[in-house]
Structure 1
Amino acid sequence: MRIYFFNQETGVFQGEGFEDEKNLATLEGATTIAPPCYSQGEVPLFDETSRRWTLCRIQHREHVFSMQPRP
């Protein structure tokens, strides 16, 4: 069965995988509910209470990370 992983603290989608149906009850941070389609600048968030995905817009900043070594 296909499952979808999410961070339990933030709800952020982390990927997908496959698992036997008998093991689903013991998995944490996973659901069989597929996240919605998303595009650049969006991230799916899973709410365990409502058992629903929502899309969250993120702001993109260029050059947030620097790859130059420190002296």
Structure 2
Amino acid sequence: MLAYGVTAEQAFRVLVWRSQETNTKLRALAAGIAAALPTLGGGSVQQRTRFDHLLLTVHEHLSPPPADTSSP
């Protein structure tokens, strides 16, 4: 999703496509990709800086959880 700037649904469709094209179980394909990600060395400094900012501030943009209105 990050690499291509696509939605979760689009990313899943890409995995399904590669799974079918290579006759590989989707779970095995996803696990292989996840395992190989560290070997890519990470993104550029600019990408990491932007992600760091997102990681440190995302909580400020989330909606608060709904209040529990049930009573015992």
Both structures adopt the same fold (TM-score exceeding 0.5): no
* More RCO (CA 8 Å, sep 6+): 1
Instruction: Report the TM range for the smaller structure's normalisation.
Output: under 0.3
TM-score by length of 1: 0.23
Higher strand proportion (structure 1 or 2): 1
* Greater C-alpha radius of gyration: 2
